[in-house]
Structure 1
Amino acid sequence: MVHSARQQQLFAGVTIQRWPWSIEHDHDLENPYVTAGNRVYSVATQHGEFSAIGWRQPHEMSGVWDHPIKLLDGFWFGISYGPNTLIGPASKIHWLTNASRWRMTPGEVEMTYQLPGLNVVRQEYGVDDHEGILVRLRLVNRGSSALDLQLHFLAHTDLRVAWLGENRLTWRDGQDEAVYLDEQACIAAYNTVNPAYVLFGAGKRPAAVTIGTDLSVTKQTPGEGASGHLRYTLHLPVTGSEEMHYIIAGSTQSSSDASTTFMQLKDSFEELAQQQRQRYQHIIERSSLHGDDKLLETAFGWAKVNLQMLERVIPSIGQGISAGLPDFPWWFGKDTTFTALALVASGQFELALSSLRNLMHHSQIVNNNGSVVHEILTLGHIHDSGHLVEVPLFVRACYHVFLWTGDQQFLHDIYDFCVRGLMQYVLASTGSDDELIATGKGMIESRELQSGKGFKTLDIAAYTYQALLCLAELASAIGDDSRVPALRDKARRIRELVNTDWWLSDENLFGDIYASAQELAASHEALRAEGPLWPGDLKELEHTDAMLARFTERHGHDEATLRQARPWLLKHMIAAMPMETGLASPEHAAQAFARLESDEFTGPWGLYLNPEREPATMTLPNGVMAAAEAQYQRMDQALAYSHHIARTLAQRMPGAFSEVSPDGGSFIQGWSSYGIIWPVVHAFFGFQPNVAQHRVRFIPHFPASWHTAQLHSVRVGTTGMDLEVAKSPQDARIVLETQDLSYEVTLGYTWLGTTMPGRVTLNGEEVSFHTEVFHHGGEDDETAQRCTLQIPATRGLQRYELHLVW
């Protein structure tokens, strides 16, 4: 498909272009960015400075990282005017730490600097599958006379281990030593205690080299690092230009490995830079969204890019998508299970598969009970062996990854693990209907809900319900048919139980937890005895204590009443999860949405984590709300929550979505993509493949503001499909094109209201159809009535065009 360049200003002061894709701005350049490779990445400010950021390793999460080690605290480029001075200091150095513009294209970051008579453009590339990064400087003489210049490349090493390395391993931060390697024309540094190595230099030989421990640009950096300063001479005639190539390479194994990588990057600089751009261009072109909604179209493209930027590959340790930067550059159970859905829906199958396999691999090593680990460090150590909710989330993710890929080996690899985790770990102690919901740790990572064994929480109930249905489908796919009825029956019983016992009719919401007043009080006593309690912990306990006091005032101190388990409303964001999973009845969903969409729960940037205890907004709750609204065919409301995420695109690192909206926490967070990609593909386009059975369903339901939209090159198993929808008050046209004629295609369309079309055709021929009316707000709510039309499944065609005329 041929694309024309389209430039728009969706955000004040930010220029966005699509085809080719780029995003740029010239303000707030003190914010961070990442030059991303799956082995080595660099975090700096958009000026090109390396500030002290991060809390996991305080002030150490910027710089250049080659996990499980850090390579550099930073690297800097400078320009001085005049002939080369080999003896003594150079003339005044203009360090490139005050950019006039920052720009990102998929696979490349660019900064522009304006110096007297000189324009400098700095381009950086991560290099996937190589332990290094590349930097290109392009210098253009804008003056009226020739320029003799010195180019300065200064780097400060910090060959330290990643978070908890000093606690978990016999790794201490030894002194770094540096030497100049004449053959490679670069500086090599190594740690005197540990196997950590870094080389840095350029594509040409330096005119002068200085090595020390106190060389600096704007400030001294703490630690045991060494500094290296390389000077290069350059002559620029009037209007002349020249490029310099710089290379940073590392190794966690040996100096020879680092040296080999350095020479590979040096010799293949242009080829590797082009490969990185092409890799990201392929991601942009696959499952590409085009339509009326330019905000979401832009966010959709960058959401796909964000996912690849967070891939982390560490040989012999793990491979998969990390959570976010700067503080979460390793692997998490919850994060992976949400991002896996965005990965498969955007065609990034390999990363989805490797991420889930990585979780399972480490879980099997550490846990012998079927649980899924929560946090895997890049050293290979497990910081947290798991939260119970991660098991059903893992099952759900595996189900959707299998649907999209049809990967039979993956199914056989994960099936027994999924069965063991859900049936023998999550549901092992459940029996009667009263005990169908397991007790454990859920999505809310507060001291109140994570202490001890945890509670029966609403998110565990909702995801267990959904996981049972997913596991039933996986069982059927693998031939374990005898297990299917019991799985579906358990799901049915959980749905009935939660809708009956957990619903608070006076609140129009489900309770966050199901426990007795005695259990809550005892948990608080134990938590206070543990200490110390932080301000956030105390705030939570005070809120719940006040709730318990109100309960006692109302019901007295009757022992039986205090022992009776009941739902409690804590107002956490998990209130949306019964709708996200389809557990809530239509009537309960409609009432819950009315409250969650109100100003009480939803603010300027979306759903609050908790309107009373933590009135902040994160991208994941917005994604959950978008998926929840779409589950009940509330597409306009779903779009609104996706827009909440999309509007953060230019807030901190343009082209990335921060963890906390609009600009807090990690400046790039993987699970943000869930609330952009999943609702668009799965709900708005209504595209649901089953590759193993060679079937696809394409039954779109667009928000009211969408009139035309296309998804091009949607990856389905080993083939690709193009999807297009165009609607007007008079008609709707749904088109699917594929080169694989073996797929059985089911087409349909969903619209608001119950007026039936007068004519329905497939490729111009009238076709039979059936319709179904849904009452997602209850049968008395006419505004919530939606109609879905579906025609008989067909196969053997290259182009399917369904046309409805009213």
Structure 2
Amino acid sequence: MVHSARQQQPFAGATIQRWPWSIERDHDLENPFVTAGNRVYSVATQHGEFPEIGWRQPNEMSGVWDHPIKLLDGFWFGVSYGPTPLIGPARKIHWLTKASRWCMTPGEVEITYQLPGLHVVRQEYGVDDHEGILVRLHLVNNGQKALDLRLHFLAHTDLRAAWLGENRLIWRDGQDEAIYLDEQACIAAYNTVNPAYVLFGASTRPAAIAIGPDLSITKQTPGQGISGHLRYTLHLPVSGSEEMRYIIAGSTHSSSAASATFDLLKHSFEELAQQQRQRYQKIIERSALYSDDELIETAFGWAKLNLQMLERVVPTIGQGISAGLPDFPWWFGKDTTFTALALVASGQFELALTSLRNLAHHSQLVNNNGSMVHEILTLGRIHDGGHLVEVPLFVRACYHVFLWTGDQQFLRDIYDFCVRGLMEYVLGSTGSEDELCATGKGMVESRELQSGKGFKTLDIAAYTYQALLCLAELASAIGDDQRVPDLRDKARRIREFVNTTWWLADENLFGDIYACAQDIQDAHQSLRADGPLWPGDLKEVDHTAAALASFMEQHGHDASIVRQERPWLLKHMIAAIPMETGLATPEHATRAFTRLESEEFNGPWGLYLNPERQPVTMTLPNGIMAAAEAEYQRMDQALVYSQHIARTMDQRMPGAFSEISPDGGCFIQGWSGYGIIWPVVHSFFGFQPDVARKHVRFIPHFPASWHTAQLHSVRVGATSMDLEVTKSSHDARIVLETHDLSYEITLGYTWIGMTMPNRITLNGEEISFQTEVFYQGREDDQTTRGYTLQIPTMRGLQRYELHLIW
């Protein structure tokens, strides 16, 4: 299908075009962006400056990184007019640090500058699978006279280790030194203590060079780096144009490797730039969404690209999707388990598989007890040995990745690890056999809830329930059939226990934790004894302590009651997770949603982390709410939370979604894609493949505001499929096209409020069907009644067109 270019401006902060894709901004250019390669990336402002930003390594997280080391604090381009010495007051250098426009297209970033009589466009490319980046300057004389120009390329090295390198490893930062390599016409810098190297230069020879500790860079930077300044001469006639190509290459182990990379990038500049554009264009074209919801269509496309921008490859250490930039450019257990679902639903199978393998490898290497590590640094060290909740999340992620890919080797590789983690590590930490609810560290990373061994938290219970069902399916797929009944029975028991015991009827919510008052008191006493609490921690502890005091007063300090486990409502965002996982009964879900959707729990950007103690919004809780609403067929409400995420797309880096909504934390965050891609594919389109069994289920349920949408080139195992849904007040049309005729196809449709259709056809012929009735609210409220219609499963056709007519 051919789609013409469509221009839209749904935001105040950016201009957006699709087919061909671009996003641009001409103001607020002090915000950051990334030029992304999976080996080397650069973080700068949209002006082309390198600010002192960062939390993990304060003021050091911008610049050029080749993990596990940093290469450059920054690099700058400048222009001076007429003959002039390299450095000196005779002619002013116009540094390109004040842009008029910033634009990103798939695989390319473009920054525009206006100088006297001169138009300059800077294009940057990450280079996947190579340790370098490429920069092109295109200069056009738009004045009335010829121009003699001096082009300046200035870079300042900072060959240091990534976070904790100097604290935990033998790395000790040494002074950087540099030399000019005449044969390659570039400057080569190296760390005098450690194996760290960077080369930078252009495709042409410089007229002059200078090397020194400080060559009047745009601002002083700390550290033991060194500056290199290369000057090039250029003559531009009236209306003339010229192009300059610049290369930055590095190595984490040898000067010869850095030199070889520089030569490769220099001599294959155009080819590599084109490969990068094509790689990102392929991501845009695969699982391509076309919809009458322009906001979600646009966010869906850029969310797919965001995932690739965050791939991090460090040979001998690891490979997979990192969490976010600038502060989390390495691998996390929790983050990966959510992004893996977005990756497979958008066709990025390889990155999903390598990311999960990376987690399993490091977890087995370091923990070797079935637990999942939480934070893997690119230096090869584990910063955090793991949170218990990450084990069931990992099992869920493996299940969905296997469904989409059908990768039998992946299943064989991870199955035993999943069994050990869930059955021994998670369920092995439970209390009584009747409960099956584990004690440990959950989603909420507060000192209160993660003190000691943690508590029985709602998220751990719900994700364990879901993981047991997922593991049962994996067991069946691998032939471990004798395990299946026990797994499903344990899931049933958890669901019954949580719905019966954790539900607070007077609050219409589940308790965040299940504990006795004495355990909470003991945890608070230990926290206070450990030392001073941060203001946020103190606020949390004091709030719970007040609830405890009220409870004690109510029950007269009865020892038996004090030591009796019960649910406690703390109002964390994990209140949504029983619905995300399908654990909550429909009645409990309806009541919980009523409260969670209220202004008590929501601000202008969506769900609060905690309305009383941490009233800020992050994209992951919004994604969890979107998935939760969709799990109970509440598609209109699910769309609202996806739109909350989508509306942050122009806040900092156009086309990216900040960790904290609308513009806080990391400016690009991987898990944001879960709240956009997963609801669209898995829920709105109702597309659920099982590649190993050669079966696809396609039963869409669109939000009321959606009338037509298509997903083209949806990757399903080794094939692809095209999906289309159109609906009106009198009919609905569901179309699936495939070139692999061996798949069994289950088609259907879900809707709210209308009666049964008068006529149902498949490819023009009437066909039998079955229906299920459900309610979004109370069963006595007919306005919330819905239907799911399904026709018999079949195979052997290239096109399946289901038509419902009312």
TM-score interval, smaller chain: over 0.9
Question: CA-to-partner distance for each residue in 1:701-745, whole Å, 9 max, x for gaps?
Answer: 000000000000000000000000000010000000000000000
User: Tell me, what secondary structure is at the counterpart of 2:449?
Assistant: helix
Paired residue for 2:440? 440
Contact kept? 1:42, 1:62, Cα under 8 Å: yes
Deviation by residue 1:440-478 (Cα, 9 ceiling, x = unmatched): 000000000111000000000000000000000000000
Rounded Cα–Cα distance in structure 2 between residues aligned with 1:118 and 1:17: 27
Where do 1:314-393 residues align within 5 Å? 314-393=314-393
Question: For residue 494 of structure 2, what is the aligned residue in structure 1?
Answer: 494
Q: Deviations over 1:183-226 (max 9, x none)?
A: 00000000000000000000000000000001133211110000
- In the alignment, the residues of structure 1 paired with residue 23 and residue 682 of structure 2 have an alpha-carbon distance, to the nearest angstrom, of 27
Which residue is 2:774 aligned to?
Answer: 774
Could you list the runs of 5+ residues in structure 2 that have no partner in the other structure? Answer: none
| Structure 2 Cα separation of the partners of residues 87 and 643 of structure 1 | 51
1:759 alignment partner in structure 2: 759
Q: Distance in 2 between matches of 1:733 and 1:515?
A: 51
Q: Distance in 2 between matches of 1:730 and 1:198?
A: 65
- Map 1:44-83 onto structure 2 (within 5 A): 44-83=44-83
Q: What amino acid does structure 2 have at the position aligned with 1:512?
A: D
**Further displaced range: 748-757 or 411-420:** 748-757
Q: Secondary structure at the match of 1:103?
A: strand
Q: Give the equivalent residue in structure 2 for 1:191.
A: 191
Q: Whole-Å Cα distance in 1 between the matches of residues 212 and 364 of structure 2?
A: 47
Could you tell me which residue of structure 2 aligns to residue 35 of structure 1? 35
Question: What is the match of residue 232 of structure 1?
Answer: 232
For 2:723, the equivalent position in structure 1 comes to 723
1:221 aligns with 2:228: no
Tell me, yes or no, if the aligned pair for 2:696 and 2:745 is still in contact at 8 Å: yes
Structure 2 counterpart of 1:191, one-letter code: N
Residues 181-580 of structure 1 correspond to what in structure 2 (within 5 A)? 181-430=181-430, 432=432, 434-580=434-580
Contact 2:435/2:497 (<8 A) preserved: no
Q: Distance in 2 between matches of 1:624 and 1:170?
A: 41
Alpha-carbon distance between aligned partners in 2 of 1:676 and 1:429, rounded to the nearest angstrom: 34
- Report the alpha carbon displacement of residue 14 of structure 1 after superposing the two structures with TM: 1.4
CA contact (8 A) 2:431 2:438 kept: no
Maintained 8 Å contact 1:155/1:227: yes
Q: Match for residue 679 of structure 2?
A: 679
3-state SS of 2:49 partner: coil
Q: Distance in 2 between matches of 1:209 and 1:330?
A: 36
Deviates most, 555-564 or 276-285: 555-564
Alpha-carbon distance in 1 for matches of 2:388, 2:577: 16
Aligned twin of 1:620: 620
Q: CA deviation at 1:498?
A: 0.3
SS of the aligned residue for 2:755 comes to: coil
Q: Secondary structure of 2:224's partner?
A: coil
SS in structure 2 opposite 1:449? Answer: coil
Deviation at 1:432, TM superposition (A): 4.0
Task: Compute the displacement of 1:431 (Å).
Answer: 6.4
Could you report, residue by residue, the CA deviation over 1:103-124 in whole angstroms, capped at 9, with x for unpaired residues? 0111111100000000000000
Distance 2:702 2:650 in 1: 26
Decide whether the 8 Å contact of 2:658 with 2:665 is kept in 1. yes
- 1:629 pairs with 2:640: no
Q: CA deviation at 1:88?
A: 5.4
- State which drifts further: 576-585 or 87-96: 87-96
Letter in 2 for 1:249: A
Structure 2 matches for 1:103-122, cutoff 5 A? 103-122=103-122
SS in 2 for 1:139: strand
Given residue 25 of structure 1, which amino acid in structure 2 is its aligned partner?
R
Work out whether residues 108 and 125 of structure 1, in 8 Å CA contact, stay in contact via their aligned partners in 2.
Answer: yes
What is the distance in 2 between the residues matched to 1:563 and 1:431?
14
CA shift, 1:89, in A, is 5.7
Distance 2:372 2:392 in 1: 9
Alignment check: 8 A CA contact 1:725 1:735 kept: yes
Aligned to 2:652: 652
Q: Is the 8 A contact 1:649 1:655 kept in 2?
A: yes
Q: Which amino acid aligns with 1:113?
A: Y
For residue 448 of structure 2, give the secondary structure of its aligned residue in structure 1: helix
SS at match of 1:772: strand
Is the 1:433–1:494 Cα contact (8 Å) retained in structure 2?
no
Task: State the partner residue of 2:165.
Answer: 165
RMSD, matched Cα: 0.9
Q: Matched residues in 2 for 1:420 and 1:13: separation? A: 49
Tell me the equivalent position of 1:7: 7
Query: Once the 2 structures are TM-superposed, how far is the Cα of residue 781 of structure 1 from its aligned partner?
Result: 2.9
Given the two structures, how large is their TM-score scaled by the length of structure 1? Answer: 0.99
**Distance change >3 Å, CA 88–CA 648, structure 1 → 2:** closer
Unaligned runs of 5+ in 1: none
Distance 1:177 1:448 in 2: 48
Name 1:698's counterpart in structure 2: 698
Q: Which segment is superposed worse, 278-287 or 432-441? A: 432-441
Structure 1: distance between partners of 2:710 and 2:529: 58
1:267-305 deviation digits (Å, cap 9, x = unpaired):
000000000000000000000000110000000000000
SS of residue paired to 1:316: coil
Q: Name the SS of the counterpart of 2:33 in structure 1.
A: strand
| 1:79 match: secondary structure | strand
Q: Is the 8 A contact 2:514 2:565 kept in 1?
A: yes
Work out the CA distance in 1 between the residues paired with 2:150 and 2:19.
Answer: 37
What's the CA shift string for 1:618-670, capped at 9, x where partnerless? 00000000000000000000000000000000001000000000000000000
Residue 84 of structure 1 and its aligned partner are, at CA, apart by 4.9
User: Counterparts in 2 of 1:115-154, with a 5 A limit?
Assistant: 115-154=115-154
Partners of 1:63 and 1:708 in 2: how far apart?
43
1:434 to partner: Cα distance: 4.4
Percent identity for Structure 1 against Structure 2:
83
* Distance in 1 of aligned mates of 2:13 and 2:5: 19
**Residues 584-623 of structure 1 correspond to what in structure 2 (within 5 A)?**
584-623=584-623
Give the distance between the partners of 1:13 and 1:675, measured in 2 at CA.
Answer: 22
Is the contact made by 2:289 and 2:301 (CA closer than 8 Å) also made in structure 1?
yes
Report the Cα distance in structure 2 between the residues aligned to 1:500 and 1:779, rounded to whole angstroms: 21
Q: CA deviation at 1:782?
A: 2.2
Deviations 1:312-334 (A, max 9, x none): 00000000000000000000000
1:710 aligns with 2:710: yes
Normalised to the residue count of structure 2, the TM-score between the two structures is 0.99
Asked if 1 retains the 8 angstrom alpha-carbon contact of 2:86 and 2:231, the reply is no
Is 1:734 the counterpart of 2:737? The answer is: no
| One-letter amino acid matched to 1:503 | W
AA aligned opposite 1:634? R
* Paired residue secondary structure (2:9): strand
Relative to structure 1, is the Cα distance of residues 114 and 326 closer, same or farther in structure 2, using a 3 angstrom cutoff?
Answer: same
Separation of aligned partners in 2, 1:60 and 1:431: 45
Q: Would you say the 8 A contact 2:286–2:712 is kept in 1?
A: yes
Preserved CA contact (<8 Å) 1:374 1:385: yes
Per-residue deviation at 1:785? 1.4
Q: Distance in 2 between matches of 1:86 and 1:191?
A: 26
C-alpha distance in 2 between matches for 1:431 and 1:53: 45
- For this pair of structures, how many residues does the alignment match? 806
Q: Could you say if the C-alpha distance between residues 730 and 87 of structure 1 is closer, same or farther in structure 2, counting changes exceeding 3 Å?
A: closer
Per-residue deviation, 1:91: 1.2
Are the aligned partners of 1:323 and 1:330 in contact in 2 as well (CA < 8 Å)?
A: yes
Contact 1:455 1:515 in 2 (8 A): yes
CA distance in 2, matches of 1:430, 1:451: 17
Mapped to 1, the partners of 2:531 and 2:237 lie a distance apart of 69
Cα distance in 2 between the residues matched to 1:673 and 1:655: 12
Contact 2:79 2:149 in 1 (8 A): yes
Structure 1 Cα separation of the partners of residues 741 and 31 of structure 2:
49
The answer to whether 1:802 aligns with 2:799 is no
